[in-house]
Structure 1
């Protein structure tokens, strides 16, 4: 599920990244369709927009990982640079056909089925923080291509490039959100506020697009605040810079507040657009 017509919060301007893939911004009524900037991989289902993360709350773990690697562990991880951001718990379908990544897949299928998905573009290069993708389903075709279904797991930070051939392998440290200074009750309240904004954005967007204004389902589905914050970030499709900034944050409260501000700005815009439509129905 993607939230349409997101307007970023003013804090987005503090990003060190410059925009590359344009978000579906309501201020740009006719955004160009995203071409596939990475020729090495496509999403399996052609009807989806390129690199569209279509996630549901049920894809996300209801609790923090148990037995997760410690943040001070240093391990080697094969990397797959892509012009998208994978979040913990999100589902990512891929098609692998370039030779070096087919080699990587043959290795992974004999080991632990895990590799690092890391955001990269032609302007700023490759990010330092990514997310582990675990292969949960795969299909090998007769021409040695692979269809994969991956699920986001732990986040990591690259500390050193170990090898570059035949594919990137890096030494990484695991990232976890630091304990918040706020109480769990305050954090839970904040998560509920974010969910309310999401519902309102979806409802108004449906109205503007001529869809039925039915009650939006429970989006949170008993998720704890941290995995819910990752789920919210995964719905910001078409805005990978903002998604990368959210992925890199190591505080759940800060991430939820940033998402809340983005959703509030979007809701204000949609409310104004809805009012204009009521006055000028043909516009």
Structure 2
């Protein structure tokens, strides 16, 4: 697919606009390290948040509705969708703040504001190129500035697969088909059980991460918030912000059980790493 320049993500230090994402109630947790990926960025709990220059994705279990596909189109529909290449992966249900300043994307926004406020967010970077699977972002809040820039708050909706490009100028438009999770090959998979295991690993990872970061150890609350297994699996994937390739692989899976199992393995590896690091810290407190 043709690569396009990526628009700028909204900065945490940007304008005092009413759409400043730092004023929105989306909690977070800090950078975590694990063997297979240098960084796993989970953002779940407010008291664990670490400041960074660019806060690109804020999400919490409460951001993920039980029915994020309320009006899901049929998976065999072929539709045209404007595409927005970004150096990140958007998941169904996740919240994404953006600043739009590049001319072609301002044109796109003017069109979207007169239609259905939906566009395709697709991961694109210099190493991996542009992915074939992305997620629809729906504008739920917007503010147009005097210089014609836009501040947006978007929410992830359906996933899609790009079939072919319709045009590349002034912005990408593609024909896409919708992706939905299919029933697991093993029809007897206990999805609720898997989701609960993943939640347990997440709580342990947060607890150990707090300890290593010198934070007071507090009881981690309910992370799942009564989400069904599929939206919960998307929520978990959205917290792996520092590992975009892993996130893209999770987004492309069409089996909830497979996604939860992969997330469980990633969190287990993370927990093993943090456990070892915690043991070293106990022996060598000054290191």
Q: Cα distance 1:2–1:214, how it changes in 2: closer, same or farther (>3 A)?
A: closer
Q: After TM superposition, list the pairs within 5 Å mapping 1:39-118 onto structure 2.
A: 48-50=52-54, 52-63=56-67, 65-118=69-122
**Conserved in 1, the CA contact under 8 Å of 2:56 and 2:97?**
no
Q: After TM superposition, list the pairs within 5 Å mapping 1:261-272 onto structure 2.
A: 261-272=265-276
**Quick one: which of 189, 210, 213 aligns to 1:209?**
213
Are 1:176 and 2:180 counterparts?
A: yes
**Conserved in 2, the CA contact under 8 Å of 1:77 and 1:116?**
yes
Q: Which residue is 1:36 aligned to?
A: none
CA offsets per residue over residues 56-111 of structure 1, 9 Å max, x none? 00110113523310100000000000100000000000000000000000000000
Q: Which residue is 2:148 aligned to?
A: 144
**Conserved in 2, the CA contact under 8 Å of 1:91 and 1:152?**
yes
**Quick one: which of 20, 31, 54 aligns to 1:4?**
31
Q: Return the alpha-carbon distance in structure 2 between the equivalents of residues 258 and 278 of structure 1.
A: 30
* Secondary structure, counterpart of 1:221 in structure 2: coil
**Conserved in 2, the CA contact under 8 Å of 1:6 and 1:262?**
no
Specify which structure has the bigger relative contact order, considering alpha-carbon pairs within 8 angstroms and separated by 6 or more residues.
Answer: 1
Q: Return the alpha-carbon distance in structure 1 between the equivalents of residues 203 and 149 of structure 2.
A: 39
Are 1:155 and 2:159 counterparts?
A: yes
**Quick one: which of 28, 32, 39 aligns to 1:24?**
39
* Secondary structure, counterpart of 1:118 in structure 2: strand
Q: After TM superposition, list the pairs within 5 Å mapping 1:179-194 onto structure 2.
A: 179-182=183-186, 186-194=190-198
Q: Cα distance 1:109–1:84, how it changes in 2: closer, same or farther (>3 A)?
A: same
Count of residue correspondences: 251
**Quick one: which of 115, 120, 136 aligns to 2:124?**
120
* Secondary structure, counterpart of 2:190 in structure 1: helix
Q: Give the TM-score taking structure 2 as reference length.
A: 0.83
Deviation for aligned residue 1:222:
0.3
Q: Cα distance 1:176–1:3, how it changes in 2: closer, same or farther (>3 A)?
A: farther
CA offsets per residue over residues 9-61 of structure 1, 9 Å max, x none? 6xxxxxxxxxxxx74279xxxxxxxxxxxxxxxxxxxx555363221001101
Q: Return the alpha-carbon distance in structure 2 between the equivalents of residues 233 and 278 of structure 1.
A: 31
Q: After TM superposition, list the pairs within 5 Å mapping 1:200-239 onto structure 2.
A: 200-239=204-243
Q: Which residue is 1:19 aligned to?
A: none
Structure 1 residues 271-280 or 107-116, which shifts more?
A: 271-280
Q: Return the alpha-carbon distance in structure 2 between the equivalents of residues 235 and 49 of structure 1.
A: 18
- Report the RMSD for the aligned CA atoms in angstroms: 1.8
Structure 2 unaligned spans of 5+: 1-27, 42-50
Q: Return the alpha-carbon distance in structure 2 between the equivalents of residues 179 and 199 of structure 1.
A: 28
Structure 1 unaligned spans of 5+: 10-21, 27-46
Q: Give the TM-score taking structure 1 as reference length.
A: 0.84
Q: Return the alpha-carbon distance in structure 1 between the equivalents of residues 142 and 40 of structure 2.
A: 34
